[in-house]
Structure 1
């Protein structure tokens, strides 16, 4: 979860008010003589060093003018003008100041235009006299605004490990701003600050493979998990894409979480390239600390105007130039070289209506995305192959493989059958995604999932059985439907289960055999027959929890794995003979068989066992 998203509404409103007041008051601050340029004057700063030293803290004063670099279209950075409005103490976090700024176009360019500061601009470097002031990373969300915030360069460069030392603060030289400068800053600050929340810029997230309905669902999952992103339908990213050239400051930067059928990539801007290390975004993506994302090139297609989330950069993701290894408050950090290792999620879907089969794969670079990538990666293949929504019948089988403590391998598998009158692909997908989440969320052993393999056959031939009646034959005698049946120990029971299908007038029957054990003597119990749909928990998972861990399963990893396969399949018909709980010993016997479609309903009969 990001800090900005967790702030209470009252505190957010207070921050906006404080930000506006700070900007207006900043005009009367004393500032060094060298920071006196006319805020509206031209900027000609050119930077050749991709890893410049930071601007001294003492020089960050109202009226300071710098040059920013970012990409609007294509992959070539363009300049824009930045004017410092003031320093917001602890504006990013405790001990983390924010540089309040106003951006504008340079020499009539259209970098900013009427879009204001847009999502995807995150990480755009700003320079003053060849030094790095910081990266554009914060803004207002409800409407376009040129007012925003920078993450200071020193905080970002600290992520390099052997970072340049912070420049010591120089004593302030008191000078008086001119009346014209004060009026200019006062007027722009009052007019430009919109009535909404200052927060880190949302990250545009390119997503391939999903229909608009699934994409909206994924946006909801990100929102529910507190991720500050704007999802849009983007192009497919390949885990084996041709290596890209090293990024340049102000150029596009993509953090690739998954690739293949379901490609999910956050798009932003490169701030600095220091040897083999790259800094980007100026804020976190998931605030996840040590991570493994792909670090990829991207080509901007357009800046899209959006009245809900604000304008954002739409881009195609290109080849890999390294691995993102840090996702921190100040920036993403990547190491140039090979991309990250990935986990394959493979699905083979057969459409029984037309016999078409498609096998698709999603490669997961970020382990925390394995469960959500399983769900949406499977839906991507289902929608492409089944090619419809509506009632249907599906079978599924899956195997999850991985390693546990001491590198010991494990595998867990399950098969099931599904029916649904609106979308038969929901439940089978959620079942395996839930299983991935449960394995990764166990608290007792370190687990690494190495592959997920899924197969399903789906058709429009919907059917579902409902149990309507049961009858019991004792020791081969006639079937009885009475509410109470008396038997002797060791009696053999044959249970005839009558079911009726969807919109059918024809009954179907299955038989189950049980034996009344000798230890049941003088006990009264219940014979219950239940369909698999009622005997197993329904999959009502909110997809957003797949990004956070839906459950924290109790017990050992062995018990977690066993629990994933213990529940009856949806097409099971199960009979349970259960006796009084206060009786000594274990008094329960069950039998199970499979039907040709999922089964619902429950029927029961009381069983009284005689002494002999």
Structure 2
């Protein structure tokens, strides 16, 4: 009864909090003494807030950094004596004499007792008072060296490490979970299968969990939604403090993103699962409560109310087995979104078809921007790892758009259409023949390209070319390759054209991908030239080349290595590889 009374006092003080954070009844580490006792708040099952007992053991000076202490405490009560510290408890507030001292956040692996570290509330509130970022100020995923990773969250037996975050996932296969785990790439995370849709309570199934109302109060479950829909992923922790429209939680970083803007939700805790290494809460995200704006070393922090929208992703897959469609939303972040989309595509292919073995796959990507513009891409793959290559290529423009330096390229939604068959349609270009072999300027010539399909007889493609009458006689090169090879030739010939200078250039380059099933023929003349503001100036006289080559003024001036005087494209039934070329000399008519 005495403990319950203290809980009511603390909650009432939080609800009546003044805007000034420091007016709250907090206690600094310097006021603590060994042997002081208090209680903590967390949720062990459902959405009800439970209590546990806390005994102060000491203060670890500088444990989190210069002038950043950590409080050491022994916990008891509830399931803790059986489970030890629990992943998902991160952020559970602790009170001494009715005053908030901080949040449970750190512990030891294989510990025989529930002894852990408490992040002082002062450090956490410093995160809550930081200014909200604008999208261009979002932090990036921190890449840590091995030693720093070990200190921040490695599973060393003697290392005091963050308790870690359960990532509640649904819809992912075992290999799909590993891809998602690699995409998140943060110390201490643990991907866990989680029930979705309906939650089992004492009264039976209680309806859609996404509509479940949870208490926005210290000790209540706190989740950060990464993916929702047919696929779901959310980081589960605990709320530490709520006041003045703000909240803090976790007591340690999530991904150490710094300034960010992520959807925050409540959570339903289905069960605490006791494990010898690290027990964890099995939870599911519920209704949206606000937005996380800061992800720092002492805590995550944000505001209650409006949450950032998420990016819709649709995947439609067609195969001999039938049609499948998946819909989900992923969070919007320049460093995380592309990786999350990749995990969704990967899992969609694995669960409905396959990732390895003979296959031919066509991927059509429709990327919609917020201003109505679109990026359309169409590519075909055929190999033993065709689905993997398709997934990697499909996500690449998403990363480019999220991290480009130009304004006005905000993503709205993504739509991927995939058609997959279980046979190889590869062919290699093995031969090239020109008739007549010594053509004249303005003459019609026949070109025979020999294709060697996989485990089939050779195929000959016949292409007729009308050589331009205005050409100067001399040496030329006739070359054939796939659309992919043609794009590579062009990048080598005119590298300046593949450097975007504005948002429109970015979109144009993203769509400038030759198809692998196209046979491209080019007649090429190797003469140096320049581009000026995007206009190609090949075949300039030596005096002009010398002037332009010596010009050091700013402007859109770039080199051109030769001129393509003729190009023809033919769509084939194969995914092409290999290249062939002929050196010819055009004669006068």
The alignment's TM-score, normalised by the length of structure 2, stands at 0.77
The answer to whether 1:418 aligns with 2:418 is: no
Determine the structure 1 residue equivalent to 2:79.
110
Determine the structure 2 residue equivalent to 1:366.
332
The answer to whether 1:587 aligns with 2:566 is: no
Alignment of 1:305-454 (within 5 A): 310-351=278-319, 353-354=320-321, 356-368=322-334, 369-386=336-353, 389-403=356-370, 408-422=371-385, 424-445=386-407, 447-454=409-416
Alignment of 1:170-185 (within 5 A): none
- Contact kept? 2:75, 2:115, Cα under 8 Å: no
Determine the structure 1 residue equivalent to 2:553.
none
The alignment of Structure 1 onto Structure 2 pairs a total of residues equal to: 503
Q: CA deviation at 1:388?
A: 7.1
C-alpha spacing 1:438/1:142, structure 2 compared with 1 (3 Å): farther
- Which SS does the other structure have where 1:46 is aligned? helix
Worse-superposed segment, 148-157 or 193-202: 193-202
Determine the structure 2 residue equivalent to 1:526.
477
1:186-241 alpha-carbon deviations (Å, 9 max, x no partner): xxxxxxx9743333332211222221112112212322xx4542222334579993
Alignment of 1:156-195 (within 5 A): 156-161=124-129, 195=157
RMSD of Structure 2 on Structure 1 (CA): 3.2
Q: d(CA) in 1 for partners of 2:434 and 2:525?
A: 17
The answer to whether 1:211 aligns with 2:173 is: yes
Q: d(CA) in 2 for partners of 1:144 and 1:194?
A: 15
Determine the structure 2 residue equivalent to 1:68.
40
Determine the structure 1 residue equivalent to 2:549.
none
Worse-superposed segment, 586-595 or 136-145: 136-145
Determine the structure 1 residue equivalent to 2:108.
140
Q: d(CA) in 2 for partners of 1:302 and 1:208?
A: 16
Q: d(CA) in 2 for partners of 1:461 and 1:432?
A: 21
Determine the structure 2 residue equivalent to 1:35.
none
Q: d(CA) in 2 for partners of 1:435 and 1:382?
A: 19
Determine the structure 2 residue equivalent to 1:477.
none
1:467-488 alpha-carbon deviations (Å, 9 max, x no partner): 22222224xxxxxxxxxx4332
Determine the structure 2 residue equivalent to 1:495.
447
User: Structure 1: where are the runs of 5+ without partners?
Assistant: 1-41, 164-192, 475-484, 538-551
Q: d(CA) in 2 for partners of 1:93 and 1:446?
A: 40
Determine the structure 1 residue equivalent to 2:577.
600
Of 189, 194, 215, the residue aligned with 1:246 is 215
- Contact kept? 2:128, 2:294, Cα under 8 Å: no
The answer to whether 1:270 aligns with 2:239 is: yes
Q: d(CA) in 2 for partners of 1:399 and 1:348?
A: 12
- Contact kept? 2:379, 2:516, Cα under 8 Å: yes
- Contact kept? 1:54, 1:132, Cα under 8 Å: yes
Q: CA deviation at 1:256?
A: 0.7
The answer to whether 1:88 aligns with 2:60 is: yes
Q: CA deviation at 1:281?
A: 0.8
- Which SS does the other structure have where 1:61 is aligned? coil
Q: d(CA) in 1 for partners of 2:188 and 2:408?
A: 29
C-alpha spacing 1:325/1:386, structure 2 compared with 1 (3 Å): same
Q: d(CA) in 1 for partners of 2:263 and 2:348?
A: 23
- Contact kept? 1:321, 1:336, Cα under 8 Å: yes
C-alpha spacing 1:338/1:523, structure 2 compared with 1 (3 Å): same
Q: d(CA) in 2 for partners of 1:194 and 1:442?
A: 39
Q: d(CA) in 2 for partners of 1:397 and 1:88?
A: 56
1:264-287 alpha-carbon deviations (Å, 9 max, x no partner): 210011112225333211122223
C-alpha spacing 1:139/1:386, structure 2 compared with 1 (3 Å): same
- Which SS does the other structure have where 1:587 is aligned? strand
Determine the structure 1 residue equivalent to 2:524.
578
- Which SS does the other structure have where 1:241 is aligned? helix
Alignment of 1:512-591 (within 5 A): 512-517=463-468, 520-532=471-483, 534=485, 555-582=501-528, 584-585=539-540, 586-588=562-564, 589-591=566-568
- Which SS does the other structure have where 2:179 is aligned? helix
Q: CA deviation at 1:159?
A: 4.5
Q: CA deviation at 1:73?
A: 3.3
C-alpha spacing 1:194/1:607, structure 2 compared with 1 (3 Å): closer
The answer to whether 1:473 aligns with 2:450 is: no
- Contact kept? 2:330, 2:341, Cα under 8 Å: no
More strand, by proportion: 2
Q: d(CA) in 1 for partners of 2:130 and 2:419?
A: 55
